[in-house]
A and B are shown apart, each in its own frame.
Chain A
Amino acid sequence: MTNGKKNGKVTSPWFAIRKDLDARQRLTLSCLSFILPLVAWAFVSYSPFIWHPDVKLHISADRSDVTTVYTAGDHLSKTYFPEFVAAIRSDNLEILASRESGDAESRGSSVRRANLKIMRHISDAAIANDWLTRVEAKEDDLLYGVWRDVAEGKLSGKKVKFSEENLAIINRNWELMSASSPTFSSRDLPEIPLEKLVPQGVSANPVYLPAPHEVVIKGLQDFTFESESDKPSMFDRYKHSLKIVFLGFLLAAVVGVPLGVLCGTFDFFSKLFEPFVDFFRYMPAPAFSTLLVAVFLAHDAPKIALVFVGTFFQLVLVVANTTRQLDRSLLEAAQTLGAKNITLIRRVILPGITPNLYNDMRILLGWAWTWLVIAELIGVKSGLTEFLETQGRWRNFDSVFPIIILIGMSGFVTDQFLSSLRKYLFPWTPDAAEKKHGFIGRFFLWLVDPKAYSTPLNGKAK
């Protein structure tokens, strides 16, 4: 009585035990199930007071007493960063002191080399502020210009703002630099040691949790990046990965489905094959990787074989089980109608199990995806995984995440698509009667056949 009556329309309650929600509620919740994790991720990434145990460097410097080199983008822990800054400041004090005492100990060329390094430290800020491209930032004369423009106030950082302290340092350094030479020339750098830029940074999450926008930007960069001709582009890698998964799965299905149907149909084959298959599936497929490489040699064959090994045994058992689940009375009915042996298999068992078989194949295709990364690691590394591996080693997690998400999306989208095709492929099944189309499936069907999309039942006009 009390619940559910709103604006004269009956809505179903949100919490009802074993009751289906209505279509709008379902859609809302499905969207939320993706939005919530995203919101949580954004929340952790963009609100510094929640976690942010690190400082991400915008401007780095070299400590004279420590050999470890940090570059812009590196993460330092929040406790170490002040120590780092303090060390650079004391380096600067030493430099000033040595200038005053006029120590002629250091020879001109070595001072110039140190100054060149200091001068180049402005490149990270120049790139971040879009003053220079990544390639331009390698050219010293352009960097020299940046020093001049910042000191003369022509450039001021938007994304990376120089602190007061650093602006003062830049001004002081530029005085010395411009006194030696207005434009860059490696021989005309000042012979007086320059002050180092003091490290600057923002608080950030650990390097393994890049913020959403960083992942998106990096993903777009990686995928649009023109690779050198001898290296595969990202799309080549993606295609390669798809090929491994789908070929491996296809082979497993081509061999496994007939075998599974035989096992489910004849107890003879069931008892002959299934015990061994059941035993074999407990052996982890990666354990065979070296063996597979030895047998199939390098390139793609051992990779496809690994996906095959990982999928095939599971597939046989699942298909055999599905076949056994076919209503026995359908077989009996067919027998009393005169069907025997092959006819029985061809005209009753196969059509009878197809809808469930289709479901099984969807689930097993999901299985096949899970073997992808391991498959691409064996032998010669290849595909998305090679990229994933290298970037992961360099701790470029903002490059790693797009790949992981891409793999997930590929599996998910395929599955949703196949799932929503069910209603059109098998109009006799009960779920074809209800009109619950998957989102993605509707889109694809609309692309393929707008008429089938808009007519109410099974795409057949009434």
Chain B
Amino acid sequence: MSSSIELPSYKEQSEDVRTRFAELYQRPIKLEVEGLSKSFTTAKGSVEVLSPISFNVHRREFVSVIGPSGCGKSTLIRMLAGLETLSSGTFLLDGQEPSGPGADRGMVFQGYTLFPWLSVKKNVMFGLEVNGKSGAAVEQEAMQWIELVGLTHAADKYPRELSGGMKQRVAIARSLANQPQILFMDEPFGALDPHTRCQMQAHLLQIWRNVDVTIMFVTHDLDEAIYLSDRILVLKANPGEILEYVEVPVPRPRTPEQLLSPEFLAIKQRLEELIHPKEPERDDEPLPNIRMTGIGDEVE
């Protein structure tokens, strides 16, 4: 299908995009991953989920991680967030090796992890209080973050009274309130309907523009990855390895119309190739033509 349309190479970048990447690489490295690997010991012995991988993320960059299911995307960012031990390798955050989970690395999960016993406001205040702030200032600060995600009207509600999209917005506000160095997001919009999802993507880009935060975003939706990211880390499964660390040639600011632009389609085609490599044998064989319906029953 796509072969009938003449697409540019995904490596072709406009002048704007090229200078943007040049600028981006000038920025300090926020996250430096060096030979990170992970094996789980199961009943059947040790399974290598991630073989040693290395990559960098620059300050205020938006990086997406994509790959087939089970390739270790979640495992990777859970390790970086300190929720999983490393089997080997190191990573540096701002040049320092963090130990265990901490407020410097925020995380938004796919499932809803708001504290059900706290109102929206109290949820956002949680991180601030835990990190030693107190008093009326905390409440004010929390309200600012809630305003940022557009939920001021729901500040006193309990999580069970919110829709899925609202819950994730609160989760984002809660993580951002700690002003983390880097924000990890593991398929945060996976459970949302397409429309809400689009809205949330636009919200997220806006927040990212306005807040000094670096984002690492796991998804398996290619459009989402392209629409949001500067670079995309493509993983393969068994064991997890980096296939390619792709620069997205779509200029910023991003708009939904760009979903049909040549650069967008070009990179999407490239990602498709990486994730679902062509298997010529299967494609060549046509399906046998067996009719199971009556003659007068044509649909085409």
Residues of A participating in the B interface, judged by any CB pair closer than 8 Å: 327, 329-330, 332-339, 343, 347-348, 351-352, 354, 426-430, 433
Name the contact of A338 in the complex, choosing from B114, B127, B161 (C-beta under 8 A): B127
B227 at the interface (CB under 8 A from A): no
Query: Is the beta-carbon distance between A332 and B117 smaller than 8 angstroms?
Result: no
Contacts of A430 in B (CB 8 A): 160
* Closest chain A CB from B61 CB (angstroms): 20
B131 at the interface (CB under 8 A from A): yes
Known: A332-B83, A336-B101, A337-B103. A347 touches B126 (CB 8 A): yes
B188 at the interface (CB under 8 A from A): no
Within residues 105 to 140 of chain B, which ones have a CB less than 8 A from any CB in chain A?
A: 105-107, 109, 111, 113-118, 126-127, 130-131
Query: Is the beta-carbon distance between B107 and A333 smaller than 8 angstroms?
Result: yes
Query: Is the beta-carbon distance between A336 and B160 smaller than 8 angstroms?
Result: no
Query: Is the beta-carbon distance between B111 and A351 smaller than 8 angstroms?
Result: no
Query: Is the beta-carbon distance between A428 and B83 smaller than 8 angstroms?
Result: no
**Closest CB pairs A-B (n = 4):** A338-B103, A337-B127, A333-B113, A336-B107
Query: Is the beta-carbon distance between A428 and B159 smaller than 8 angstroms?
Result: yes
Query: Is the beta-carbon distance between A336 and B130 smaller than 8 angstroms?
Result: no
B245 at the interface (CB under 8 A from A): no
CA distance A347 to B126 in the complex (A): 9
The prevalent SS among residues of B at the interface is loop
Query: Is the beta-carbon distance between A336 and B126 smaller than 8 angstroms?
Result: no
Known: A333-B107, A428-B159, A433-B160. A339 touches B130 (CB 8 A): yes
Known: A336-B83, A336-B106. A330 touches B131 (CB 8 A): no
Contacts of A327 in B (CB 8 A): 113
Residues of B participating in the A interface, judged by any CB pair closer than 8 Å: 81-83, 100-103, 105-107, 109, 111, 113-118, 126-127, 130-131, 158-161, 171, 174-175, 178, 184
* Closest chain A CB from B6 CB (angstroms): 46
Query: Is the beta-carbon distance between B113 and A351 smaller than 8 angstroms?
Result: no
* Closest chain B CB from A74 CB (angstroms): 62
Contacts of A336 in B (CB 8 A): 81-83, 101-103, 105-107, 175, 184
Known: A428-B158, A428-B159, A433-B160. A330 touches B113 (CB 8 A): yes
Contacts of A343 in B (CB 8 A): 130
Query: Is the beta-carbon distance between B111 and A329 smaller than 8 angstroms?
Result: yes
Name the contact of A347 in the complex, choosing from B106, B130, B131 (C-beta under 8 A): B130
Name the contact of B117 in the complex, choosing from A329, A334, A335, A426 (C-beta under 8 A): A426
CA distance A337 to B109 in the complex (A): 12
Interface contacts beyond A337-B130, A352-B116: sample of 6 additional A-B pairs, CB < 8 Å, sorted by A: A337-B103, A338-B178, A352-B115, A428-B160, A429-B116, A433-B160
Contacts of A332 in B (CB 8 A): 83, 101, 107, 109, 113
CA distance A93 to B158 in the complex (A): 90
Contacts of B105 in A (CB 8 A): 336
* Closest chain B CB from A347 CB (angstroms): 7
Contacts of B100 in A (CB 8 A): 335
CA distance A330 to B114 in the complex (A): 7
Name the contact of B115 in the complex, choosing from A338, A351, A427 (C-beta under 8 A): A351
Known: A335-B82, A339-B130. A329 touches B178 (CB 8 A): no
Closest to A457 in B: B161
Known: A352-B115, A352-B117, A428-B117. A335 touches B101 (CB 8 A): yes
Contacts of A433 in B (CB 8 A): 160-161
Contacts of B113 in A (CB 8 A): 327, 329-330, 332-333
Query: Is the beta-carbon distance between A337 and B117 smaller than 8 angstroms?
Result: no
CA distance A348 to B107 in the complex (A): 17
Closest to A336 in B: B107
CA distance A428 to B118 in the complex (A): 8
Known: A330-B113, A351-B115, A426-B117. A335 touches B83 (CB 8 A): yes
Query: Is the beta-carbon distance between A348 and B160 smaller than 8 angstroms?
Result: no
Contacts of B116 in A (CB 8 A): 352, 428-429
Contacts of B174 in A (CB 8 A): 337
Contacts of A352 in B (CB 8 A): 115-117
CA distance A248 to B203 in the complex (A): 56
Closest to B106 in A: A336
Query: Is the beta-carbon distance between B158 and A337 smaller than 8 angstroms?
Result: no
CA distance A433 to B116 in the complex (A): 13
CA distance A123 to B50 in the complex (A): 97
CA distance A332 to B159 in the complex (A): 18
CA distance A338 to B161 in the complex (A): 26
Query: Is the beta-carbon distance between B109 and A329 smaller than 8 angstroms?
Result: yes
A-B contact pairs, 26 of them (CB 8 A): A329-B113, A330-B113, A332-B107, A332-B113, A334-B130, A335-B83, A335-B102, A336-B81, A336-B101, A336-B105, A336-B175, A337-B126, A337-B174, A337-B175, A337-B178, A338-B131, A343-B130, A351-B117, A352-B116, A352-B117, A426-B117, A427-B158, A428-B116, A428-B158, A428-B160, A429-B116
Which interface residue of B113, B158, B159, B161 has the most chain A CB atoms within 10 A? B113
Contacts of A333 in B (CB 8 A): 107, 109, 113-115, 171
